Each structure stands twice: as structure tokens, then as C-alpha cells.
Structure 1
């Protein structure tokens, strides 16, 4: 078997943010990986985790990240590197503790009740699909299982490009019986700005309380200090601050052409745009507490 490319290591310790975060602040989007042989990797993956650290080492690295940034709660989003085998994410939620950790799982279109029950019992409160790169779960598949997700208090998280996909997704999102959470500010066309029609549709969904968005992944869209994304983040927060979440996307897998970020700089980009103390608390503490049932 041909060796896969290896992911880069994240910074050992992020820069401290410019402002202290409120108690209960949540990093609503990270991934957890492990060492060789600890958890089965998916054959269709495009890279392997960075070599060296074992599972416990990765947990320690992330706990250092939490301590420096002032993060008390975390949502572990299952990585496609492990396909639909959610063992590493279940283990991470258990190891970090249900008092401060929740998870988002990955299933395929055929997922049955027993599989969804096992995710819910392990503290995973949603399933993710990738509308940009594909994967194992489709929009049709998640739409078909939406009522079963609702019965378990679970929701849908997805990666899509607002400028490419929002027009075709909007009606389905509005009809979805569970919350829909969009990753990485909707992965928009930054150059087109906040008036691009697909991005405006995303803002309308937020304004109407029909979706959430994660203020995450800025480093995939612009270079530090990420000022090119300020107008987009501002538009999302103005649309509905009660539907925004913040996430670091640690440990920054599948970088492609992006530069490895410092999570402290990503947090400072959020603090630069969202200056109101009450709004910061809503996004960092109240919204994730409500959505993820902390």
C-alpha cells in the first residue's frame, strides 16, 4: 500500500488571546487523532495524522490548548481520516469528560437505529456531512434520517460552499426538522464579499433561526491575521448572534494550500470583530451550551 501524506503538527502551544474569555467558553470545532494502530483509519483518507504522538499525547496537547486559550468546553468533530468508525471520537469525548466534551459523528446513508443510539449514548449529538469533498454521508441520506436524529436530540452539521451550494440547499435546510450547523463561515468566496447571493442566503437562514454557523476555519480562507474575512464574520453575527458558534478547527488537518495557524491568532480574529462583551458570551458560552446541552 502506498504511504499516505502526513499531516503537520499543530503549534505546541497557542498564543494567549488578547482578552480573557468568559467562564464556560466552548471551542465548538476540533478533531481528535491518534497514533499508528490505535484506531482504524479509513482506506479512502487523503492523509495520515502527524506521526509521533499517541492518543494520550494528543489529548494532552489539546488540554494545553484549552488552558492557554481559556476554553472550558469542547466539541470533537469526527474526522474523515477515520471514516464512519467513530471510535476515536467516542474515546476523546470519554477521556475529556462528559462535563466538558461533546461529539459530532460520521455515519453513512445506511445508518440504523442501533448505530445512532450508540452515538447518542457516547455523547455525540449530531452527524456531519461534507458537501464540498464528498465522503460517506449524502444530503439525501441525512434528510432521510432527520426524523430519527430528532428523536435522539441530534442535529446535522455540514461543510458546503455558500456561493456554490446555498441556493440548492436553502429550501431543504428550512424544512429540516433538526438544527443544521454550517462549518467554517459557510466556506464562502471571500473575494465576493458578504453581498454574494449564496452568502446572503446563509445570513437569511441565520436571521430566521433556521441554521447555525461556526465562525471557524478562517485560515483556510485567508492569511493571518485574517482581516479579509472580517466583513463576512461581521455579517453573520449581525444576522443573528444567537446562531453563531466559535471553533479553532484544531489540529488543522488536511491543510492543502493553507498555512498552519496559531489558534490564539484565530481567537483574536474573532475578538477583533466581535467587540461587545454580551455578544462574545452569547457566541462562546450560551449558544453552544444550548445546542450541545452542556
Structure 2
């Protein structure tokens, strides 16, 4: 029998505690079968060989049901470049309670932005880590047009390396910035680095949002080494924190494939009161992504 591809996510397991009603997994990606959607020529790798898009969506639905999530944000992967088709179709098929984050290049025009809104996108993504198609200068120039349409910027960066240079611009920006993966610090996992402290300051000022996601990219299960950073972000402003699984865990590099239930358990290890848990899993995503709370 062929050995399973190590890039395929495991079947979902039950967490110690299911997410509350109306909870949103604020960061997932969707991929598709070979040749189903065109891959970007500048990609770092290919998706794992697997099912077609509907098969991947079935896996996603199984995880949502097992963990207790009813809503989700599907973030377009740089593997597909600026062709947002796979994410647009995934959002369409998932239906009510699901929105997308897509890619646009520098200089995107009004027609492209209006199409974004029609596609049920909630933000444009800027990737400082893997590169891509949108620069910080381009995002800054695009911000007023995003604000007019109720969109925001989602950003992947290394807080300990990049935050100092970004902070003043962020404070003057016309739209919120949502940072992925607790700011993804690359040096020692400490809340005392200048860049991470700047991220906490921006969070406390209400200038940014942060996803408490992808701990597995920074430390090994059960991810306790990241607890101080997660706790610091929540202490800075629990009303600007979100949670995401980062499923199906693309571009692992040297990280170990996680079990999403372990990631939710790690969140619950730090967030011990029901009110804060509900705020981060239900109320905050409803606010930033525009979900109905009814």
C-alpha cells in the first residue's frame, strides 16, 4: 500500500471542548485536484495530491462539524496567485456563513474591487513572508478604496522583524489590518521582543486585529511554548482577537502536521472564561467579517 502523503491533513478528532454556537474558523485555505484550477507559476510547491474541490470541501465540512464551527473565512493561497477562482468557488459552495480573503495586485482598479465585493470577499491579503503580488505600498494606496467597500487588509508578517517599520503607517491607515498567526515571530517565542510588544500596543489601541492561529508553525504540540504570546495578545485586547485552524496546513516547511483539535485545545488552555471564549470565537468575527449575530 502506498504511504499516505505527509501533506494531507489528518481526519478530525473531537476537541476537549467544542466551539460555541455561531463560532467562526477565521483562517482556512482550500485547494483542488490536479489541473482543476491553475496554479501560480511563482509558487513554492504544489498542493498535496488529493480529491477535487468538492472532496476537499467535504473534508472541511467534517472538520467544522467535529470542532463545532458554523462559519469560516477561506483565505486564498499564494499557490494560486491572483487567480482567485478556487477560493471564490469554495465560498460560493459553502454558502451562508462563509466569506473569502483574496489576492489583488498593486494598482487594482475599481472594477476589480467591485468584483471582489460581488465574490463575497471581506479582505485583500498581503504576504510579507512568502512574497506575492501586493506590496505594502500598494496596500496603503488601495486602503481608501477598500474602506469605501467595507473591506480590510489581512497581512502575514514576522512581528519581531517587520512591526516596527509598519506601525506608524498602520496607525494612519483608512482600514483595519488583521494579522495572521499571532504575528508569526521567528526569533525566540517571547512576548518581550520589541516587534511583538508593538503588535500588542497596536492591538490595545484597536488599530489591528490578530488571529490566534498556526501555533504549530512556531512550536511543537501541545503548543505550550506559545501560551505566553497568546495570553499577551488577549490581555492587550480580547475584542480584537480571532481564532483560526489554518487548515489544511499548506506549505509546512519544517513544521509538523497538526491535529486541529489540539490547536483548539491550546486556545482553551489559555482562554479559561466563557465570556472571552465566546467573544473571540463568535462575536469578534461577526464584527470584523460582517456576519449577522442573529
TM range (shorter): over 0.9
**Partner residue in 2 for 1:94:** 92
Shift of 1:192: 4.9
**Partner residue in 2 for 1:65:** 63
CA RMSD of aligned residues (A): 1.1
Out of 276, 280, 286, the position equivalent to 1:279 is 276
Question: Could you tell me how far apart the structure 2 residues matched to 1:153 and 1:121 are?
Answer: 12
Mapped contact 1:84–1:107 kept (Cα < 8 A): yes
5+ long unaligned stretches in structure 2: none
Shift of 1:268: 0.4
Mapped contact 2:243–2:280 kept (Cα < 8 A): yes
Out of 163, 167, 170, the position equivalent to 1:173 is 170
5+ long unaligned stretches in structure 1: 1-5
Q: How does 1:1-294 map to 2 (within 5 A)?
A: 8-11=7-10, 13-97=11-95, 99-189=96-186, 191-294=188-291
Mapped contact 1:127–1:157 kept (Cα < 8 A): yes
- Secondary structure of the corresponding residue to residue 188 of structure 2: helix
Mapped contact 1:7–1:254 kept (Cα < 8 A): no
Query: What TM-score does the superposition give when structure 2 sets the normalisation length?
Result: 0.96
Shift of 1:116: 1.0
Compared with structure 1, are the counterparts of its residues 192 and 17 closer, same or farther at alpha carbon in structure 2 (3 Å cutoff)?
closer
